Chain A
Amino acid sequence: MWSLTPAETAALLLSLKVAFWSVVVSVPVAIALAWVLSRLDFPGKSLLDAVVHLPLVLPPVVVGYFLLLLLGRRGPIGSLLDEYLGVTFAFRWTGAAVACAVMGLPLLVRAVRQSLDAVDRGLEDAAATLGAPPAWVFASVTLPLILPGILTGVLLSFARSLGEFGATITFVSNIPGETQTLPLAIYTFTQVPGGDAQALRLCILSIVLSLAALMASEILLRRANVRAAGRDA
């Protein structure tokens, strides 16, 4: 009853793998985008802002379909990647990670940008007068101060990835062991007669997983906040 079947274990591990890599890939991109949106002023900035936020408001199926068009074997970007780098995303778990990264990106960018806006620029000036070049100021002052925002964003996009359904199934289909993450497995069981009990087991697994992620991030966030506020730990 309490042990997982091999198929369930496969779906769980795949979900974790996809969510993990989607976050790893999107964090640097999100920090760069958040920095550009927070610190620079240029024509077309609100357009960039809107494009970054699109996945938040579009139906996930639309995002998945566009990914398929762009990154599919015959897509303009997908064919280049395939030809020169030998990388394919279509119907692979890596494609699922890309879909999750795109869907989670706006959540990450928002969280990071908010904490970037709140950083006291005077501290960065102070570091510069002490001899720190701009890249060092970013790494040693800005980054530690926005760590709580990054952690919040990581949690949100990780949770979003665990629950991602529409974009994934549209872009990389529903292949057991390759692209069938937990939500896709749950969906599959609900579609076959007599699959209710198994669907429920996977639902409970999802809840446990999400709770664990929430609690872990809460602990990390508390530590990061203490540091960023300058209190003694």
Chain B
Amino acid sequence: MLDVDVRCRVGGFALDAAFSTNAGVTALFGRSGAGKTTLLNLIAGLTRPESGRITVGGRTLYDAATGINLPAHARRVGYVFQEGRLLPHLTVRHNLLYGNYFNRKQSHVIGFDAAIELLGIAHILERRPGALSGGEKQRVAIGRALLANPEVLLLDEPLASLDAPRKAEILYYVERLRDELRVPIVYVSHSLDEVVRLANTVVLISDGKVLGAGELREIMSRAELRPYLGRHEGGAVIEAQVAGQDLESGLARLDFAGGTLEIPDVEGLPGERVRVRVRARDVSIATSRPTGLSIRNVLAGTVVALGEEDGPSLDVQLDLHGTALLARITRKSAAELGLRPGLPVFALIKSVSIDRRSVGYA
């Protein structure tokens, strides 16, 4: 759907990035200053690359070889900026309708009434942006981009300037966009929580380069990418299916190839697919099945490899009948337990270590 292969230099910073994505949410993930926003500006036509090619759904937006460089206003790329950028002199209604003046056809993505219903902004239509809360501004900005009939929607850290409750609010609306509309979404973030919750596909960016692109689970399990995901946030992503909810205990049972997880705060109905991020530091290892234990998730598997990091801890790669899992334990424990590749072990995961923010709905 979206194909990007560009090079450009801005000041002392060089960007050289190539990736392609399909429908659904693609996360551009990386630390601040990695070049994520620059990449969005290149796609939207606000910055000009030095060479390369950008196409959306077969339409060429930029091609250095043939000299094509569509101006921003002809690209039909919806862009939701970090700070919203609503036009301050127009009411919410006129902000939403702004793109309509330039598109003779109505947005194929969504109609006006459906958009204000989807984003919950019907009550603020006649207000001006100055009086809106941060969350309301972002919802209006998303609606405005959708109503301009875009072929791809770019979201540049839309949660960055919001407090925790507002973040949850916007995440909920982005999830609805993903599930109810057909427009592909590129979501820039430096938060693994947001990525896990929203994205199937991840493009990992560091220093202007694409280090890896692919399915979230695959990127998370690649050892060489682990340092870029954050020291304390790294871990594996397990894709599972909701098997049932135990209303009395408040725990959901999630089935996957390697066994069953019991986790609180999962809202899915039986049969629904979910993604669960299990941080490496929340996983312990036992060489025999322990008894008399509060930990509810005890999963059998084998050791695949031991990390070779310096320092007191290391990451152990485990295989749970085809599902990869990472455990961060001390080097001393690894030595005392005699861990080695091929050894059958049990992975221990505390249910309460996996909170609402670590669960995404596919």
Residues of A at the B interface (CB closer than 8 Å) are 120, 122-123, 125-134, 136-137, 140-141, 144-145, 227-233
Contacts and interface: CB of A to CB of B under 8 A. Distances in A.
Contacts, number: 88
B145 interface: yes
- A-B interface, 5 closest residue pairs, ranked by CB to CB distance from nearest: A230-B88, A230-B130, A131-B102, A130-B99, A128-B72
A228 B99 contact: no
Nearest to A227: B89
A195 to B, nearest CB: 51
Contact of B72 (A125, A141, A232): A125
Interface string B14-32: 0000000000000000000
Contact of B73 (A123, A131, A229, A232): A131
Which of A120, A230, A232 has the most chain B CB atoms inside 10 A of its CB?
A230
Interface SS of A by simple majority: helix
B81 A232 contact: no
Contact of B130 (A120, A141, A232): A232
A141 B73 CA distance: 14
11 contacts: A122-B81, A123-B87, A126-B79, A129-B145, A131-B74, A131-B103, A132-B98, A133-B71, A229-B88, A230-B128, A230-B131
Contacts of B72: 125, 128-129
Interface string B284-322: 000000000000000000000000000000000000000
B46 A133 contact: no
Contacts of A140: 98
A122 B83 contact: yes
Given A126-B81, A231-B128, A232-B128, A132 B73 contact: yes
B252 interface: no
Contacts of B129: 230
A228 B89 contact: yes
A140 B148 CA distance: 16
B56 to A, nearest CB: 13
B85 A145 contact: no
Given A125-B46, A128-B72, A231 B130 contact: yes
Contacts of B73: 128-134, 137
A102 to B, nearest CB: 32
Given A123-B85, A123-B87, A229-B88, A130 B102 contact: yes
Contact of B86 (A136, A144, A230): A230
Contacts of A137: 73
Nearest to B75: A129
Contact of B87 (A136, A141, A229): A141
Contacts of A129: 44-46, 72-73, 75, 77-79, 145, 148
A232 B131 contact: yes
B144 interface: yes
A232 B91 CA distance: 9
Interface string B50-77: 0000000000000000000001111111
Contact of A122 (B85, B127, B144, B148): B85
Contact of B99 (A120, A131, A230, A232): A131
B46 A231 contact: no
A128 B144 CA distance: 12
A108 to B, nearest CB: 21
A133 B75 CA distance: 11
B255 to A, nearest CB: 43
A231 B131 contact: yes
B77 to A, nearest CB: 6
Contacts of A228: 88-89
Contacts of B89: 144-145, 227-228, 230
A171 to B, nearest CB: 40
B44 A127 contact: no
Contacts of B99: 130-132
Contacts of A126: 79, 81, 85, 87
A101 B128 CA distance: 36
A50 B103 CA distance: 43
Nearest to B85: A126
A141 B78 CA distance: 18
A136 B44 contact: no
Interface string B135-174: 0000000001100110000000000000000000000000
A133 B70 CA distance: 12
B322 to A, nearest CB: 44
A229 B83 CA distance: 15
Which of A130, A133, A233 has the most chain B CB within a 10 Å cutoff? A130
Contact of A130 (B71, B88, B127, B148): B148
Contact of B46 (A120, A128, A229): A128
